[in-house]
Amino acid sequence: MAAPVVEFRNVSKTFAGHKAVRGISFHIDKGEFFSILGPSGCGKTTTLRLLAGFEEPDEDGGEVRILDEVVNHRRPYERKLAMVFQNYALFPHLTVEKNVAFGLEQRGTPKGEIVTRVRNALENVRLDPVKFGGRPPAALSGGQRQRVALARALVLEPSILLLDEPLGALDLKLRKEMQLELKSLNRRLGITFVYVTHDQEEALTMSDRIAVMDNALIAQLGAPAEIYEHPRTAFVARFIGESNFLEGAYAGREGTWALVRRADGSLVRGRGGDGRAEGAAVKIAVRPERVELVQPDAVPEGFDALPATVRQVVYRGEMLHVRVTLREGGEMVAAMRNEGQIRNPVRWQEGVACMAVFAPDDARVLEEDPA
């Protein structure tokens, strides 16, 4: 089995007595699109800077390995990687071609080879070298500048490409287009991408795997579907998409499901909960699209059901969110597809009694958030 392209082994980094990264371990395989996702201050940018060589781990802070070699004390230019920054960092006084060629010129690459590699790099990011090569960055749109920054990194033929929130300055439509473009580049070129973002949709759209960071730790690492469908903690369930949360006490098991006793004595079931002590306080997460509303006498067999009253219907274009107040306290949201409000208006109106139902397999008993 091939060694990982990148590996962090129990890596820590401290700034002025504050642990920005706390003993994190993970690996990244060749050609993988790997995203580090989290809110501001969680440690994701520090993790990227440790990989890039702009920061070093603490003296006893573990190992950063690239291509199976320890690189803790190696300079950035010794690490066989390239980086695309959030602000692109293009030289305003140089043309597009000169910006892309800059790194090659610094390395003393032969002139004829530079011309060929710059042309290929611009074509890889779908910029016509003849049309755009002679323009200054100021004459380009935001999306075009982003592509030039990509070309400047790719022309160095790195083993690993680091991307630090490179789409943050783009408008929504262009950002969505560039998400697909980056994923296509990753597949086409076979280069390992390490992408840092606070945008959950970006990470879900592009990544092979995602490391979700919280409080300087990795809260969960896995494929997008795994993290979305089976969040481990309340933080992950809240940060990745939307979730309904139910609280109660762990009450044992029913087959493969955990039992959770609510404040009114009712039981709900869900996946997870292994190792919890009887009576321990727990939370259950259920995604809004997994919740259905039915008439009180029409609960499907095998579903958990909570008596509720409709509080609000929120129109969100292709989806409708129906907020309900639970009889025993708290709220839930049921997300349902908009089937045409003119022809098929939603039947749930404020004040209507209903049952909020969900399959036990769609409910997740959460682990505690890291301290």
The fraction of the chain above a pLDDT of 90, given in percent, is 70
* pLDDT tens, position by position, 22-60: 999 999 999 999 999 999 999 999 999 999 999 999 999
Does residue 370 lie within any of the structural domains? no
Q: For the chain, what is the mean pLDDT?
A: 91
Is residue 117 located within the same domain as residue 35? yes
Range with the largest mean pLDDT of 127-136, 139-148, 206-215: 206-215
Does residue 304 lie within any of the structural domains? yes
Is residue 210 located within the same domain as residue 246? no
Last residue of a domain, one of 234, 257, 287: 234
CATH number at residue 217: 3.40.50.300
Closest CA to 262 of 356, 353, 328: 328
Q: Which residue has the higher pLDDT, 249 or 171?
A: 249
Please answer whether residues 20 and 46 qualify as being in contact, where contact means their C-beta atoms are separated by less than 8 angstroms: yes
Is residue 209 located within the same domain as residue 169? yes
Please answer whether residues 40 and 86 qualify as being in contact, where contact means their C-beta atoms are separated by less than 8 angstroms: no
Is residue 20 located within the same domain as residue 74? yes
Q: What's the rounded Cα separation, in Å, for the pair 228 and 242? A: 10
**Model pLDDT, residue 354:** 94
**Model pLDDT, residue 342:** 54
Does residue 341 lie within any of the structural domains? yes
Task: Find the domain containing 331 and state its range.
Answer: 242-365
**Model pLDDT, residue 341:** 57
Does residue 1 lie within any of the structural domains? no
The answer to whether the Cα torsion of 367, 6, 12, 204 is positive or negative is: negative
The fraction of the chain above a pLDDT of 70, given in percent, is 98
* pLDDT tens, position by position, 236-278: 999 998 999 999 999 999 989 999 999 888 899 999 988 888 9
Contacts of 89 (CB under 8 A, 6+ apart): 149
Is residue 210 located within the same domain as residue 96? yes
Residue 9's CB is within 10 A of a number of other CB atoms, namely 16
Last residue of a domain, one of 174, 203, 234: 234
- Structural domains of the chain, count: 2
**Model pLDDT, residue 275:** 84
Does residue 34 lie within any of the structural domains? yes
Residues 5, 8, 14, 20, Cα dihedral to 10°: 90
CATH number at residue 249: 2.40.50.100
Please answer whether residues 248 and 278 qualify as being in contact, where contact means their C-beta atoms are separated by less than 8 angstroms: no
Is residue 198 located within the same domain as residue 265? no
* pLDDT tens, position by position, 51-97: 999 999 999 999 999 999 999 999 998 998 999 887 778 899 999 99
**Model pLDDT, residue 319:** 85
Is residue 266 located within the same domain as residue 124? no
Is residue 252 located within the same domain as residue 228? no
Predicted TM-score (pTM) of this structure: 0.90
Please answer whether residues 232 and 214 qualify as being in contact, where contact means their C-beta atoms are separated by less than 8 angstroms: no
Last residue of a domain, one of 194, 215, 234: 234
